[in-house]
Amino acid sequence: MSEINLLDRYPRSCRDIASRAAAVADQREVAKRFGREYFDGDRGQGYGGYRYDGRWVPIAERLRDHYGLAAGQRVLDVGCAKGFLLHDLRRVVPGICVAGLDVSAYALGQAMDDVRGSVVRGSAERLPFASRAFDLVVSINTVHNLDRPACVEALREIERVSRRHRYVQVDSWLTDEQRAKFERWQLTAATYSDPEGWRRLFREAGYGGDYYWTITE
Ligand SMILES: C[S@@+](CC[C@H](N)C(=O)[O-])C[C@H]1O[C@@H](n2cnc3c(N)ncnc32)[C@H](O)[C@@H]1O
């Protein structure tokens, strides 16, 4: 288990904190449905257009190199949305077997063609997969959307279905200023903490995989 940033090649977002904060109270409810409004509606209630642009390619390469991913291995993305990371993993590791799960019927309906048959609708706290089914399970900016008991269950499930590696990234902060920005900006998170609180939660869940933080700058 180690703290490691495997999204260090993800482009920094330009979140307009000030304008988002004004809208947040009204739009959290809409965002939490994880429907079209969240992914492809206006920026005040989510991504403001979640389109494939290749930004996951360097992350897929980073995962491949760090975990030694190779043809024939199996990777699960919990909270896969439209399957962009899965698509890029297939690109950078020819022959890899991918699977994805997401709660959003909308996002899955928009999944990229090559992964559409490999994604299922479900919730992270109950993964419909056999124990030790995957060489790598990743979950990026997803389990913090569950309330605390469900978040613990989701981490247990990630642990259960992995036979080797797991990587989880969640909302957190390192400074009071980052915390304040996060709390003003965030739309969907239900469980969040400083890194120490997350480590306690990981221990409670028996989560032994790698992890890192999404910090609102
Ligand atoms: C911030 S997005 C992250 C999507 C993708 N992992 C990424 O990093 O671009 C959060 C994702 O979590 C999904 N999600 C929210 N609650 C979930 C749950 N209980 N189980 C599975 N997925 C969930 C949403 O539909 C959405 O796709």
| 36: its two tokens | 């079209």
The residue nearest atom 17 of ligand 1, judged by CA position, is 103
What's the 45 CA to ligand 1 centre distance in angstroms?
14
pLDDT at 81: 98
What's the 80 CA to ligand 1 centre distance in angstroms?
6
The residue nearest atom 27 of ligand 1, judged by CA position, is 81
Q: How many angstroms separate the Cα of 162 from the Cα of each of 95, 105, 129, 174, 204?
A: 19, 25, 10, 29, 18
What's the 1 CA to ligand 1 centre distance in angstroms?
23
pLDDT at 13: 60
Across residues 74-102, what is the average pLDDT? 98
What's the 176 CA to ligand 1 centre distance in angstroms?
26
Signed CA dihedral, 80, 107, 110, 9: sign only? negative
pTM: 0.96
172-186 pLDDT, tens digit each: 999 999 999 999 889
Across residues 95-100, what is the average pLDDT? 98
Q: Dihedrals φ, ψ of 62, to 5°?
A: -65, -45
Please measure the distance between the N-terminal and C-terminal CA atoms of the chain and give it in whole angstroms: 26
Average per-residue pLDDT for the chain: 94
| 60: its two tokens | 């897929």
* Number of CB atoms found within 10 A of residue 217's CB: 12
What's the 81 CA to ligand 1 centre distance in angstroms?
6
- Best residue for ligand 1 mutational test, from 6, 9, 34 (most atoms within 8 Å of Cβ): 34
Q: Any residues with Cβ below 6 Å from ligand 1, and which?
A: 34, 79, 81, 102-104, 107, 123-124, 140-142, 145-146
pLDDT at 140: 98
**pLDDT of 16 higher than 80:** no
Return d(Cα 198, Cα 210) in angstroms, integer: 12
pLDDT at 20: 58
pLDDT at 70: 98
pLDDT at 11: 84
The answer to whether 87 and 132 are in contact (CB under 8 A) is: no
Read off the pLDDT band of 44 (50, 70, 90).
Answer: confident
The answer to whether 144 and 171 are in contact (CB under 8 A) is: yes
Across residues 53-57, what is the average pLDDT? 96
pLDDT at 120: 98
Read off the pLDDT band of 14 (50, 70, 90).
Answer: very low
What's the 82 CA to ligand 1 centre distance in angstroms?
10
